[in-house]
Structure 1
Amino acid sequence: MSWQPALRAAADQLDAAGVPDAMRDARLLLAHALGIGSDRLTLHLRDAPQAEQLARFQALVAARAARAPLSHLTGQRLFWGRPFRVTPDVLDPRPETETLVALALAEPFARVLDLGTGSGAILLSLLADRPTATGTGADVSPAALAVARGNAQALGVAARADFVLSDWCAQISGAYDLIVSNPPYIALSEMAALSPEVREHEPHLALTDGGDGLAAYRAIAAQAPAHLAPGGRLLVEIGASQGQAVAAILASAGFTDVTIHPDLDGRDRVVAARAA
């Protein structure tokens, strides 16, 4: 027996459970079970499975079939070309959030604040690409901050990153020339429509405000100006239908140059603004 029939059976099991791109996930889980890179999996598919490896693989497949996120099972997610450790305490970094990173890197900055940092994916990607910059990650979750600190160490930017337990800017001091945030923006009424991976496995505190999905933007709009240098930039990720509402919130708070930017799929994804 080789791994090939086990892999096919796993893909069929995931497909029956409604997992998108079942064969891709089955291959990634098998590579993880074998402790090899996914790019080397083809070289091992004719190998005979060892009992312990097979049991580990089947347990991973069963968990994925129950719609546990792939990143929670493998322990990491690639974001902006780098691996980030992910746990149930943080949001799974998503490709569309890279739109915010690209916009942030389009202009110089020396000091950046990431509100609701989670895994640290945004902040640490920015620091890794700007070797002279320093930054702060704020979050209300101690567990999330622990994940972010670990990612900072793993990416070699810990010396330039501080982490603060803070409800938005409540415990923040000083001024920054860039503030970024991917806040909870899903309305409570939209939660039921989320995929099981998100709805049942990611922290609800990072997904929704329990109301209309705009509470975080109101708080950030009110608090961020005190921590932005003159002309400093604010970049916030948004839901696809929230562009105009968030732009209006920022404009009403006195921000200038308020613009809405799409992601690669053409959906509104980031609202950018400047401090007066």
Structure 2
Amino acid sequence: MSTVTISTLISLGKQMLTQNSDSAKLDAQILLSFVLNKPISYLLTWPEEQVGSTNKEDFLLLLQRRVLHEPIAYIIGEKEFWSLPFKVSPSTLIPRPDTEVLVETVLQNHGDGTHTCCDLGTGTGAIALALASERTSWIIDAIDFNTDAVSLAKENAASLGFITVNIYQSDWFSKVESTKQFDIIVSNPPYIDKVDPHLVEGDVQYEPLSALVADKEGMGDFMIIAEHAINYLNPNGMLYFEHGYEQGDSLRNLLKVLGYRGIKSIKDYNGHERVTFAQR
């Protein structure tokens, strides 16, 4: 059969992905809308529309990649974050909904005045560019040690129209000018223990280990950043971290030992501690 309907392909996709995805039908819809270059609303409006053989074969090839747990974002090269479309690649972590809690927390604590902000480990640029979209007067630096990530973040900044965000390569603070001072430092660093069994399961196995794993049971990069950030924060400046749901106590203790004040943790949409912040 050379052609088949949209609804038939969606049903086939759902059937193929049920064992591999918690959102099998949505995954199928996203992949088919990508192949057809149409919004999902088109698929819902025209379920009996015929799909040609070439598009059908392309769709089936993408389904096979998804069956092997390759993330949807890598397959289509894009992920929405903060209602903004971000280009993604296997060199960067895929932006996650929980990270929006980090952005929300920063925005709630800092208004529209002129603030200086540094996003450490920017990846796709998601955090920095989301903040830039809401606070146009802020002066924002975004850094990453991975040159491919830096290039991608710059591409996202250009496509989204936030070209004033200063994006550059640095291994944490190694290339940040020693005289620079920030009102806000924010980071979603690697925080998974390298022996965590989930690293070889499901979608996460496709993501770069360098963006996921830290030594010292996942606390290593928090230690480095927190120790040095205090020297780059203005008086009363704020440091924000996203972290694993079981790391809140350890992170609060670390920040207290290093002399930070006003330490507080925020829960994510599932009721788990996900963001911790403190004041210099």
**Shorter-chain TM-score category?**
over 0.9
Deviation (angstroms), 1:211: 4.0
Q: Is residue 129 of structure 1 aligned with residue 134 of structure 2?
A: yes
From 171, 184, 193, the equivalent of 1:167 is 171
Give the Cα separation in 1 of the matches to 2:41 and 2:9. 18
Give the Cα separation in 1 of the matches to 2:214 and 2:87. 25
Give the Cα separation in 2 of the matches to 1:83 and 1:31. 15
Segments ≥4 residues shifted beyond 4 Å:
none
Cross-structure match for 1:181: 187
Give the Cα separation in 2 of the matches to 1:46 and 1:115. 48
Cross-structure match for 1:4: 7
SS in 2 for 1:260: strand
1:233-252 alignment runs, 5 A limit: 233-252=238-257
1:134-153 alignment runs, 5 A limit: 134-153=139-158
- Which stretch of structure 1 is more off in the superposition, 121-130 or 106-115? 106-115
- Which stretch of structure 1 is more off in the superposition, 187-196 or 99-108? 187-196
| CA deviation map 1:164-203 (0-9, x unaligned) | 21111111121110000000001112144664211x2101
Residue 234 and residue 194 in structure 1: after superposition, are their counterparts in 2 closer, same or farther (change >3 A)? Answer: farther
Q: Kindly tell me the number of residue pairs found equivalent between the two proteins.
A: 272
Q: Indicate conservation of the 8 Å contact 2:143/2:168, yes or no.
A: yes
Cross-structure match for 1:196: 202
Give the Cα separation in 2 of the matches to 1:80 and 1:247. 27
Give the Cα separation in 1 of the matches to 2:259 and 2:29. 50
Q: Indicate conservation of the 8 Å contact 2:73/2:79, yes or no.
A: yes
SS in 2 for 1:13: helix
Residue 224 and residue 270 in structure 1: after superposition, are their counterparts in 2 closer, same or farther (change >3 A)? Answer: same
Deviation (angstroms), 1:100: 0.5
Q: Indicate conservation of the 8 Å contact 2:193/2:214, yes or no.
A: yes
| CA deviation map 1:223-264 (0-9, x unaligned) | 101111110111000100000101111111111111111112
Residue segments in structure 1 that go unaligned for 5+ positions in a row: none
**TM-score, with structure 2 as normaliser:** 0.94
Cross-structure match for 2:93: 91
SS in 2 for 1:59: helix
Give the Cα separation in 2 of the matches to 1:191 and 1:79. 27
Higher helix share: 1
Cross-structure match for 1:224: 229
Counting aligned pairs with the same residue, the percent is 30
Give the Cα separation in 2 of the matches to 1:234 and 1:151. 25
**TM-score, with structure 1 as normaliser:** 0.95
